[in-house]
A and B are shown apart, each in its own frame.
Chain A
Amino acid sequence: MKQAFVITLFVLIFTGTTNLNAADLRSVSPSAISQQDSSSKSGPIVGRDIYYGIEGARTGPPAPRLNEADYPTILGESRLVIWIVAQQHLYWVAFVLGTFFIVTLLEVWSLIGTRHPRAAAYDELARECLDLVMLAVAVGSILGALLSINLLALYPDLTTYLIRIFRPVVLVYGVLILAFTLLAYLYYVTWLRMSGGWQKWVHASLGVVVNVVGTTIAFLGNAWSSFMMSPSGIDESGRYLGTIWHVIHTAVWNPFNLHRFTSHVLCAAAVLAGYAACHALTAKRPEDRAHCDWMGFVMFLVLLGGLLTLPFGGYWLQREIYAYRQQMGITLLGGLLAWLGLILVMAMGLIYFAINYYLWQRITSMRGQSLAWATKWVFGLLALCTMVYITPHTFVMTMLELKQMGGQQHPVLGNYGVESAKSPAVNMMMLITAWSFILWRCSCASTRTVDVLRRLRISTLIFIVAGLNVLWLGIYGYYIPANVRVGLSVPMVATTFSAIVASLVVTRKMEAQELEKMDSREWGRLSVRGYYALLSLSILVVWIMGLGGYRRSSVRLFWHVNEIMRDASPWSYTHTTGFAANVMTLNALVFLLGLVGVLGLAKMGRSQGQGAYYEAATHRMDTLK
């Protein structure tokens, strides 16, 4: 068991380095210690938490003060090495954990909807995804061990300090990785054995447990990076104060967790959608193309669901960062990293274009031109929203242009540069995308009956009203104080979600028609452009993940642990935007190339017996009905 070996190595490294002493983990009363050792020459033994403000017993050494000689230079720029290895580890972990979530979702869905005509196919799809991801579990584990070794070798003082702080977490982390690997393997090998009757429910429950363990691992890993950004549970010198929960539960930990979880699902859905698109493009048999087309569509739906929540999660994260330290907020949104933020929103705009393009390829491949009149509004309004979304607060311009403008802000376009304009723009883009989705649902109806048209009109009206409300809230935000304006994002989000839910309810009865219709004749008819749209979506999502991670990490600037432990290495400057973009692209390419190899190997292993499994799954579903 390669994974078990890697994990054992990982645990040994950490426990060996930390020189764990059980006595250090004891809970000690601060006041008792203070009385016992008030004459200590090393300063007061009770410290005050820099974030929570409560007192605790100092149980560790202070954060080390480093100089340039404390950083070994083995492979050139150590920061770059860590950046690449950490990003690869995060990519693979995101793919693995996200895929396990999707697999369990599909399995539970196939169990709940056993009467569904495609229940067996969903179960088969879940199994197919599981086949694809199992090899990636090993890759993720190996990269994790490689990251740990690199951290210890290149940043020994920082890593040792963090391990001292996180000692209890390191142990739990190691145990959980071991548990995850064993449970994931158990989940995989028992798929066929536990495929009937109540055993299938037990198997699905096992999937839920795997996901819970995996998500816990991700959250604990997140605690390290969120501690480095917004430390708590320590005093002003960086000494641990005895309460590990305070170290984990920092100011930005929860928004990080939400963001991390969503990005895992998005990454997995994007990768699997891209995989399906590639195979559909190269499929030689119509039934293979139809299967890949359907698989791509299912993953697209997961991607769409995740993507609708991601901007809100991102907004919450930014808000919490800003509230924690205005310096970080300004660096991210208006300062050094704002240009990367601008590239991020440009990529988000491209994602919305790609989603709508894919949906319209689906619609017109099924219904021809009957709904094509709407495309000019969809792409026209998307263009308008994208323009607002990507307009920066400070323009790139010459001084002559600055003088022509008559001030630092353009009087017409300058107002688009702040969050008050971005929030309505992204909400409008979501509404337009949801409208395209509803039109797709309507296009699935076997005939354009009066009922379908009526439902379509009601849905369209809902979206128009919602759009006007979002627009109004956006304009109104300019006339009220900033702290109230931030709160306006809540009614905006509520409006968007309400409109989406209401329109889904209005068009709900078309589901049956849609599924009957879509079964065998329609899949595989998507144009080549549609597959390329899907492929571009997967590449964009992967690239954006790298960009978001870089922004989050580099916002600390020259701190290892913000305001506690300074980065004294020669690489404590922020890279140029161009260099950073090149490294992100390199990371995305390495990951995608790695995926080609790993998924190719997994597919080779799966190529035999696919039909047999599908027949078995169909038979099983028949027995469940």
Chain B
Amino acid sequence: MHFIEGFMPVQFLLELVGGVLLLSWILHLLERFGFPVGRFTKGVLVVVGGFIYFKYWVYPPMPFSILVTYMVVLLGATFLWASSSDTYRQEFKQPIVALLDAETSTMRFARSVLFILLPLMAGWTTWDMLQVKIVEPIELRTVGPAPLGSFQLHGKEIVLQTAKNPYRVNRNGVHDPHYLARTVRDEKSGWSWKVSIESDAWNADIDRFLLAAKEGGHIYFQECVFCHGANLGGRGVFQFALNPYATNFTDPGTLAQLQESYAFWRTATGGINIPTEGFPWASTMPRMEEHLSTDDIWKVVLFSYWHTGGVPRTWD
């Protein structure tokens, strides 16, 4: 299936709205042709339809915790809608009351089935819950553990709040967090902002920034590519041996929203040195400080940002 690369989050929302619109239209048509559908049935259709969509349509499958959360929200919203007025409430509960109370043969049969099924289902659920199951435990961990205020690297103290990449400099040698970013101006709003551009690092002899990015690239493809992948998407050849997987740097929720000093710290100290304030964490990142010099770590971080088109978070 089904989800279009780069459009997935919006597609998810549009499909849900489209589903409701489609359902409304079908129900409207049925009503118009003399087959009105009761409010209870409408509610059931929305909840069941939502469950089918979340469980079987969304791919890759969403974790159980998210599925339950979404279903609770959907169920709650459906109940609120169904009881938003006295008329709606009466309509909604009418089939339930009829099932429990009516004396027609159909309802009597349905009631009998229900009262046989309910205890059976309760029994089965209890039996199922008592089974000893060997399953992996769920994890409550954080992808971005909180860093220390400062840390020691190769005998020097690095203060994370103020540390800057020495290679993120413009041609005048001045630190510039937005260097090699192009300014885009929105004519309607009048705002301008900067986005990074792809530059040819292989002809970068005179540019310290690009030269460092190029060297960082060399290091990346020697040291990091096996886990983080050739396009930095977290899909290296070792990916399936890792638990948890390597980070996908192309995701705008990872590298692009962090300060560069944070990426530097994580690269240098890896998973094993995450401090207690970063708990609960789980990381398979090795300590690159054991393999790379301080300068090399800065260069590989610079390359990671440059390659993914991201600009480190700043507060200017």
Contact = CB atoms under 8 A, between A and B. Distances in A.
B230 interface: no
B253 interface: yes
Contacts of A491: 189
B85 A364 contact: yes
A387 B262 contact: no
Given A364-B86, A372-B87, A397-B63, A384 B138 contact: no
Main secondary structure, interface of B, reads loop
A379 B277 contact: no
Contacts of A331: 146, 277
Contacts of A407: 233-235, 245, 248
A414 B11 CA distance: 13
Contacts, number: 240
B84 A330 contact: no
Interface stretch (A31-39, A218-226, A332-340): A332-340
A357 B316 CA distance: 41
Contacts of B146: 327-328, 330-331, 334-336
Interface stretch (A19-27, A261-269, A480-488): A480-488
Nearest to A396: B65
A327 B160 contact: yes
Interface string B185-203: 0000100011110000000
A380 B3 CA distance: 22
A341 B70 CA distance: 18
Nearest to A320: B315
A5 interface: no
Interface-centre pick from A331, A361, A404, A482 (highest chain B CB count, 10 A): A482
Contacts of A420: 252
A428 B142 CA distance: 28
A394 B254 CA distance: 11
Contacts of A404: 60-61
B39 to A, nearest CB: 10
A402 interface: yes
A398 B142 contact: no
A339 B74 CA distance: 21
A412 B311 contact: no
Interface in B58-94: 58-66, 69-70, 73-74, 76-78, 80-81, 83-88
A388 B244 CA distance: 24
Nearest to A372: B85
Given A349-B73, A408-B234, A481 B310 contact: yes
B254 A405 contact: no
A487 B63 CA distance: 32
A386 interface: yes
B62 A483 contact: no
B24 A327 contact: no
Given A397-B65, A405-B63, A411-B60, A326 B161 contact: yes
A323 interface: yes
A95 interface: no
A412 B9 contact: yes
Nearest to A563: B149
Interface residues of B, number: 89
Contacts of A326: 147, 160-161, 259, 261-262
B22 interface: no
A400 to B, nearest CB: 6
A529 B88 CA distance: 13
A399 B284 CA distance: 13
B3 A411 contact: yes
B315 A483 contact: yes
B24 A376 contact: yes
Interface bracket on A: 35 or more
A420 B252 CA distance: 10
Which of B3, B9, B147 is most buried by chain A, counting CB atoms within 10 A of its CB? Answer: B9
A369 B3 contact: no
Contact of A401 (B64, B240, B278): B64
A245 to B, nearest CB: 23
Nearest to B252: A478
Given A395-B65, A400-B136, A336 B85 contact: no
Contacts of B257: 418-419, 482, 485
Contacts of B313: 481-483
A415 B252 contact: yes
B85 A368 contact: yes
B60 A410 contact: yes
Contacts of B234: 407-408
A551 to B, nearest CB: 13
A421 interface: yes
B81 A397 contact: no
Interface of B: 3, 8-13, 16-17, 20, 24, 58-66, 69-70, 73-74, 76-78, 80-81, 83-88, 135-149, 160-161, 178, 181, 189, 193-196, 233-235, 240, 243-245, 247-248, 251-254, 256-259, 261-262, 277-280, 310-316
18 contacts: A325-B149, A326-B161, A327-B149, A335-B146, A349-B73, A353-B80, A379-B78, A391-B66, A407-B245, A408-B143, A408-B234, A412-B3, A413-B66, A481-B256, A481-B311, A481-B313, A482-B258, A563-B149
